[in-house]
Structure 1
Amino acid sequence: MTSGFPDDYFARPTVARLQDHLDGGTDNYRPDREFARDLITVAPWLPASVRVNRAHGPRVIACLVREYGIDQVIDLGCGLPHDGNRYLPDEVHRMVYVDADPGVEAHARMVLAERHGTASLRADLGDMPALLAAGPIVQLDRDRPIGVLLHHVLPWIGDETVHTVLAELKSWLPAGSVLSVTHATTDMAPKAMTNLTRLYAGAGIGFRPRSGQQIRDLLTSWAPLETGELRTTAAWRRPTHVYSRFDHSHAYAIIASPGDRTS
């Protein structure tokens, strides 16, 4: 390992760089581009899915600010800088970008955390106590609500870790906080999702799209802030008839509270 990068870091595809390439970015390498071609072969809608799901981030942050009065946010698994996570309303006074990928954290430190009130942190969701004890997180004001983004993160970690992450966040977050989750689903294009899972496994990457019910089950102890059927990231807070025919998100969006927002 050199300078915090595993020895094979640039010789194998990584999730963050794959997402960057699928979104038309340039922070990726030949292994990412070659593997992305295989992925697109079994799921031609994948680039559109990445774009749709990334565009969801700014809409959620606007919701957190305007509807819930939240001005401090943690972006867990922020990914490489792109149009979506570069957007930050003036009302957000504190933003912490977190990722376990050393390349992502380096880019986040240079690009995303350049604005006053923003910070980057390299941390692993597999060690939540260390993550929550890190300086940029400790500096958040826990006497006021905090927003947490878990966008396109949970499919890349196993069930046990997912439950630990959600339990730790629920226990740690102050009243009035809001968690935003997006999650790839098997409810749409199940065969393609199976093939994607197989390809990722061949590259040593665990990918776990879940059904809508499985996603709801993960958040059983959380208080949903919206009722009714699950909405996809494309259709979230938009008229369903506008997006149903052209919805390439293949992912659901949920916002929830750790408890009584008025307590």
Structure 2
Amino acid sequence: MNAFSQTDGDAVEFVGIVKKQVANIYENPDEKAKILRRFYRGTKLIVFEVDEEEWLKVKINNTKTGYIKRDDVDFKNTLKKEAIKNSYKYNKVSLELKSVIERFNINFSESMYFQQEGIVPQFEYMDLLFKDGFLKAEIVYTTKTKFENERTAGKENPFAEELKDFIELLFFKMMIYEAEFYRINLYKYNNNGKLEEKVLYATFEYKYDDEQFKVIKNKKGMIWNFVKSNIPLEEVFKYYP
């Protein structure tokens, strides 16, 4: 078993080993909290939540959880604290992206516009990848229609500005995770009608800069002055896919 592994849903579990002679498990992340149990050196623990400061949330048994000081735990395969922190943030970004995309889709599919016009834009989360300093989100740009087999490609999209704002939101969600470059790969379904076939449609790439970030985070739309795209921004969402 690796030092950490994917489990049900989107939780990440770490296998830790108690390194202190006797380590307390507390009810809350506070040394004044009730002590639920004591574990001894060499005991293996399942850690499934990492506090940004000094605590780990661990399983005591199949139904109970508690908190242990980070300094009381070592990790198998020399997994370091930074690796734990990054894995937790990676998982958090993935969940955030899935959540905002789901809310976007619900808001549009339940809108009065959809009831009247029968077509709205939608996004589908595919994956989140980190390699060589790049954090890449892979998203499908698609539509929802009232009528089966309705052709949408080439129809003018009245929500181009809203979709641009949404991609900007995704960028800021991704920046929870530290990377040198942030890229959003936008796919669409192949127009041959086979839904399982996706083709890369557009890419957006932002190179992180501390000083620049202070400016763009406080002014809506400013990020687009620094994002590279393979398609002119005004063209990306002009039409439905």
Q: Same fold (TM over 0.5)?
A: no
Question: What's the TM-score once normalised by structure 2's chain length?
Answer: 0.29
Specify which structure has the higher proportion of strand: 2
Question: What's the TM-score once normalised by structure 1's chain length?
Answer: 0.27
The structure, 1 or 2, with the larger RCO (C-alpha pairs under 8 Å, 6+ apart) is: 1
